[in-house]
Amino acid sequence: MIPDSDFIEDNKDYDLFSSSEVEQKPLIDKLIAAVEKFKPDRIFFDGFTQLKYLSSDDFQFRKQILSLMQFVKKYNSTFLLTSEVGSGITDDDLQFMVDGIINIEYRNQHHFLEITKYRGSGFNEGQHTLKFEENGIKVYPQLKTLNYKKNYELGQISSGVKEINQLLHGGIEKGTATIISGPSGVGKTTLGTQFIKESADKGMKTIIYSFEESNKTLLERSKAINIPLTKIRNSEQLIIKKINSFEYTLDEFSYEVRKDIKEKNISVILIDSITGYLLSFKEHNKTHKMVRDLHALCEHLKIDGVTLFMINEIKNITGDFKATDSEVSYLADNILFLRYLEINGKLEKTIGVLKKRMSDFENTMRKFSITKDGIKVGEPLNNMRGILSGHPEIIDN
């Protein structure tokens, strides 16, 4: 339907008759002749809404479309057509006549695909990331929560620090999700990498998804506190991936995680951090959707028996205790918290367990410190009260 250059050069336009009277019948005749000649299995009509401009009214357009669809069905052809919609332009009449509708939207520099109609079958609802790449088209479906459970070997994952294992009554159960929560600089990532290091030492494949630190910074900082991530990575027991929000959508990130688990046989994952995850995808999504997608990812990982650790930063340095920000506590089977306390005029770090679904845990807090020799944890702070308020008092024996 695209005119040649001579349309304007040789003044082939006309104004005595309407377009529907002059161009409509020859075009329809060409379509019918082509179908009768080739008897195609599939027909693709690009820019179908242009036909509407050749119809004298909406009723006539609907009759023509329905008639054309019935004609195509005589040859058992699958009919696929594209329609352009925009401000002031709709194709509602066309949508009522077809059996399926695939919508493609370009938003915030990403393409999204959504199926809104598909007669005779169910479909995966919601918007899914669509990418046009050198090796073809890729679709990254939204994760849905599942109801089945795989069988996997039960057991606990040790932290490698005796006192932390005592807090946890042995360790973290496999196939669970754990949040490590605390304010900035308290040692959350260090504690998470300690679990990764110990898991790798036990022969488990591990991976860190970092939304905040570069790989180099993470490796150098861990080396300075006797957590040899470089050595573990060189032995292929650890993968570190820096996640750039400009390269990924929520759907792509979830797809990447599941792909890594399957292809690289990953057993333990550290996401650093939930805060970075929410900030990275905030421009394109609402918080409740991001948390919902993270919940779906957690469920998939647990079904596969993968143990997940997530770092979560809270704003309060001291004062009233708050487990997590962004209402993500329900994602976790276990919550470990680190916090600052002012004790005898000094700022001290402490560690405790707030939640553990699979077993009991020690209900006291302990001093927590990071040294050049690694993580050091003290005895339970049994002689103090008011710890969770941020204003501890020493109890005289």
| Fold topology of 156-394 | Rossmann fold (3.40.50)
Query: Where along the chain do its domains lie?
Result: 17-140, 156-394
Check whether domain 17-140 has CATH 3.40.50.300, yes or no: yes
**Residue 359 pLDDT class (50, 70, 90 cuts):** very high
Q: What is the pLDDT of residue 31?
A: 85
pLDDT tens digits, 116-152: 999 999 998 888 999 998 999 999 988 876 666 666 7
pTM of the model: 0.80
CA distance 324 to 312: 7
Mean pLDDT of 28-35: 87
Sequence letter at residue 302: K
Domains 17-140 and 156-394 alike in fold:
yes
pLDDT tens digits, 155-211: 999 999 999 999 999 999 999 999 999 999 999 999 999 999 999 999 999 999 999
Burial 180-205 (b: 16+ CB within 10 A, else e): bbbbeebbbbbbbbbbbbbbbeeebb
Tokens 């990447």: give the residue: 256
106-110, 318-322, 393-397, range with greatest mean pLDDT:
106-110
